[in-house]
Amino acid sequence: MGRLINIHYDSKPLYNINIEQDFSGLPAVFESLRLKNRKLCILTDSTVGSYYLDTVMGIAREYTARAVSYTFEAGEKSKNLDTIEDFYEKLIKEHFDRNDVIAALGGGVTGDMAGFAAATYLRGIRVVQIPSSLVAMVDSSIGGKTGVDFRGYKNMVGSFHQPSAVYINVSMLSTLTDGQYYSGFGEVVKHGLIRDMKYLDYIKDNYSGINSRDLSVLEEIVAGSCNIKRAVVENDPEEKGERAVLNFGHTLGHAIEKLKDFSMLHGECVSIGMAAAAYISMKRGMLSQAEYNGICQVLKDLELPVKADGLKAEDIINISKSDKKMDAGKIKFILLNGMGNAVICNDVTDSEMLEALNTVLA
Ligand code: GLY
């Protein structure tokens, strides 16, 4: 059956998100993009490529003039300008022109890099996102944020470049490790907490389908998250204002991710960051103690951590201040003013962050 979500900018349809349980709808997406006489280069990593590259290449060969691929070593360590340079070289050697297309087959690292390469190669070509991880399906493949890490600073170099299409096959979630799978629920819970408590109730009512990776439950969850993200990015495509609410849990989460040298997964770090941000919200009287406890419980129920060890609160705060979520020298912090209602605050003090971090540092 599948779901179709259309993303509009300036009230005009811009691209579709197809949510399916297999790849059977992908040929129609390639046809709608008129790829029959165009070349397509699939960017993937060594892990995702080993599972899905042959299948997607098979479809691409049939529905494009020429399909090629470029595979990089899986992991955040590859998310840099060196990999992008090698990828540009591949595109140049294959004579890719402005009408040819890149497809991202993989998780957030692949999607962000494919998007960045597409934004910059020949001043911009089209990119199709085929996300394989839950984080990429519900968050990074949508909304056009692209980029790479630079000298240890996460996503520091990048650009906004909207995809031409997003094709989500939720059955790809079956090949994720448990850690990667549950890590994706960090972003899923975030979407409920910032915008839609009914969505969070659906998550809480479906733990058994989540744990068994039931495809219908996953389709519902992915569609729900994509819709929340759609509503936010349509209003503020380039994060001039409200899109920053999507960074709930990320201010301290990114710093933890960096201090742990990416040994902890993104969603796990965001989970700890959300627990700390919820604590500050509670201390400010914006959440009750029961609501704060409830947030920590949902995260724990989804195998997500609400505590980190081996880190110093002061280091986390210092790193947060060199992150890009700053506004005139102040950290742009996202708090919850009630469940399902995220707000942007520029006045969170170091002592509030210290107190919150001391509750989440084991
Ligand atoms: N991942 C946050 C955003 O797309 O704005």
* Average pLDDT for 223-246: 96
Pocket test for ligand 1, best of 236, 243, 248, 324 (most atoms within 8 A of CB): 243
CA–CA distance, 261 with 239 (Å, rounded to integer): 27
DSSP letter at 162? -
SS3 call for 40: strand
Kindly report, residue by residue over 269-298, the tens digit of the pLDDT. 999 999 999 999 999 999 999 999 999 999
Most distant pair of Cα atoms in the chain: their distance: 60
159 band by pLDDT with thresholds 50, 70 and 90: very high
* DSSP 3-state of 294: helix
Tokens of 20: 């399916």
Instruction: Say if CB 195 and CB 340 are below 8 A apart.
Output: yes
* CA distance to 244, 264, 292, 311, 323, per residue, from 317 (Å): 19, 18, 22, 11, 10
Q: Which atom of ligand 1 is nearest to the CA of 145?
A: 4
Q: For residue range 299-351, what is the model confidence (pLDDT) as tens digits? A: 999 999 999 999 999 999 999 887 766 777 788 899 999 999 999 999 999 99
For residue 145 and ligand 1, the question of a CB distance below 6 A is answered with: yes
The Cα-based distances of 268 to 119, 181, 245, 264, 295 in angstroms read 29, 11, 18, 7, 14
Counting atoms of ligand 1 from 1, which one is nearest the CA of 247?
2
CA dist 299 and 72 (Å) reads: 32
Q: Is 338 left (phi over 0), alpha (psi -120 to 50) or beta?
A: left
Residue of 7, 189, 246 to test ligand 1 pocket, by largest number of atoms within 8 Å of CB: 246
- Return d(Cα 346, Cα 352) in angstroms, integer: 13
Q: Quick one: pLDDT at residue 101?
A: 98
Q: Is the CB of 190 under 6 A from ligand 1?
A: no
3-class DSSP state of 326:
strand
What is the C-alpha separation between 218 and 228, in angstroms, rounded?
15
What is the rounded CA–CA span in Å between residue 103 and residue 227?
Answer: 22
* pLDDT at site 325: 66
Q: Give percent above pLDDT 70 in the chain.
A: 99
Report DSSP state, residue 346: S
* Whole-number average pLDDT of the chain: 96
Please write the tens of the pLDDT for every residue from 84-138. Answer: 999 999 999 999 999 999 999 999 999 999 999 999 999 999 999 999 999 999 9
Ligand 1 pocket, 246 CB below 6 A? yes
| Interval 227-241 mean pLDDT | 95
- What's the CA gap between 253 and 258, in Å, rounded? 9
Which tens digits make up the pLDDT trace of 247-274? 999 999 999 998 998 899 999 999 999 9
For the Cβ of 114 lying below 6 angstroms from any atom of ligand 1, the answer is no
pLDDT at position 324: 64
Residue 65 DSSP code: S
Helix axes 313-321, 350-360, angle to 10 degrees: 130
Residues 6+ apart with CB under 8 A from 2: 18, 19, 20, 21, 25, 219
Q: Whose CA is nearest to atom 5 of ligand 1?
A: 246
